[in-house]
């Protein structure tokens, strides 16, 4: 015998998970993963010598800021409840050299930008700065080159120490050593402590893969790179070495750790998050951003839903902080309850 809907008596499902999906209010109440504006960090580019923002063709909606528009962007981020801003400086091409002098010049664009943002928002926004040479060198690599054109790890560490001191003197809250040099966290910590800046935190780019998704970023920072970074960034095929990098960074004094990129490496992010007792960040990088924006512009996906879905996946995998170019927009949407 069957009921009118065809279900046999005594053979009802033992559980009905769909009961918890019936209405938006129900789904909201039982959601396991939530985004919050304070968990979002806005990466921002400031370019020396421009009077108007320069739109980035490969990253629709993102610009290279002037000093004035950067200050405005920082203020908007604060108003939206964004947690932090990660600054990248783009010096004039004529100022780049083999050792990345603009990166340590007190009047270099990145140090100037740090001071500008601190003057605008004070401590209402966590001001972070990229600690790497690639934006500042004429060869585009993240370090100093030796006579044979290879990145010299230990000579680069000396430059990173100088950069850390310059950025700390400018007033930064957090430095982000991103070059994947061996020993970089320890050297930066020692440099900061050596000038009494024990309060400056280190967000270690602990896991940074040699990814195909960085392309649009290189336009954003005006990269002069020839070749690739496979001798210092991690091989996408490897997972275990991420845990080795993690152990080293923590031993050297990292306050927070990062996985970059985010979406292609959610498995790595989950392993890191399950291992550590320090905050974990993930960087939703330029290629991830560009794919969503381009697909949405062509009508292939729903833009707003795709943005929230990608960010939720990163948060669900274990990131407590997410660097995303949508930080202010998403924070505003979250504040509106969307």
Whether 208 is a known active-site residue: answer: yes
- Judged on CB neighbours under 10 Å (0-12, 13-18, 19+), 199 is exposed
Residue spans of alpha helices (H) in 124-224: 153-170, 184-194, 215-220
Task: Provide the token pair at 13.
Answer: 């499902």
Q: How far is 256 from 155, CA to CA, in rounded Å?
A: 25
Q: How far is 112 from 330, CA to CA, in rounded Å?
A: 28
Q: What is the DSSP string of 238-250?
A: -SHHHHHHHHHHH
Whether 118 is a known active-site residue: answer: no
Catalytic residue among 72, 118, 230, 260: 260
User: Roughly what angle, to the nearest 10 degrees, separates helices 303-316 and 286-297?
Assistant: 150
Q: How far is 257 from 277, CA to CA, in rounded Å?
A: 10
Helix (H) or strand (E) holding 256: strand 256-260
52 phi and psi angles, rounded to 5 deg: -135, 150
Asked if residues 70 and 46 have their Cβ atoms less than 8 Å apart, the reply is: yes
Classify residue 287 as left (phi > 0), alpha (psi -120 to 50) or beta: alpha
How far apart, in Å, are the Cα atoms of 149 and each of 139, 143, 146? 10, 11, 5
Asked if residues 90 and 221 have their Cβ atoms less than 8 Å apart, the reply is: yes
Pairing of strands 40-47, 63-65: parallel
Catalytic residue among 95, 96, 118, 208: 208
Return the active site residues.
208, 260
């Amino acid at each position: 015998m069957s009921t009118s809907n065809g279900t046999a008596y005594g053979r009802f499902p033992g559980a009905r998970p769909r009961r918890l999906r019936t209405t938006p209010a129900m789904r909201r109440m039982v959601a396991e993963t939530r985004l919050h504006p304070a968990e979002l960090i806005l990466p921002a580019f400031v370019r020396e010598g421009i009077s108007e923002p320069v739109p980035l063709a490969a990253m629709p909606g993102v610009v290279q800021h002037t000093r004035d528009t950067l200050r405005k962007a920082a203020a908007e981020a604060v108003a939206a409840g964004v947690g932090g801003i990660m600054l990248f400086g783009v010096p004039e091409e004529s100022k780049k050299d083999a050792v990345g002098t603009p990166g340590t010049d007190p009047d270099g664009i990145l140090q100037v930008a740090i001071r500008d943002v601190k003057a605008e928002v004070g401590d209402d926004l966590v001001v972070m700065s990229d600690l790497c040479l690639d934006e500042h060198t004429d060869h585009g690599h993240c370090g100093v080159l030796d006579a044979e054109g290879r990145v010299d790890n230990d000579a680069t560490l000396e430059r990173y120490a100088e950069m850390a001191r310059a950025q700390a003197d400018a007033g930064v809250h957090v430095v982000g050593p991103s070059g994947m040099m061996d020993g970089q966290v320890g050297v930066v910590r020692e440099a900061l402590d050596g000038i009494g800046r024990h309060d400056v935190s280190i967000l270690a780019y602990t896991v940074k893969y040699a990814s195909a998704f960085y392309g649009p970023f290189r336009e954003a920072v005006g990269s002069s790179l020839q070749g690739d970074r496979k001798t210092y960034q991690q091989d996408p095929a490897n997972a275990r070495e991420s845990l080795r990098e993690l152990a080293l960074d923590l031993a050297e004094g990292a306050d927070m750790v990062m996985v970059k990129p985010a979406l292609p490496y959610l498995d790595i992010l989950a392993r890191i998050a399950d291992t550590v007792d320090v905050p974990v960040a993930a960087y939703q990088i330029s290629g991830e951003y560009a794919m969503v924006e381009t697909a949405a512009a062509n009508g292939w996906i729903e833009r707003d839903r795709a943005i929230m879905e990608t960010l939720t996946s990163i948060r669900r995998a274990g990131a407590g902080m997410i660097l995303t170019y949508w930080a202010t927009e998403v924070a505003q949407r979250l504040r509106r309850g969307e």
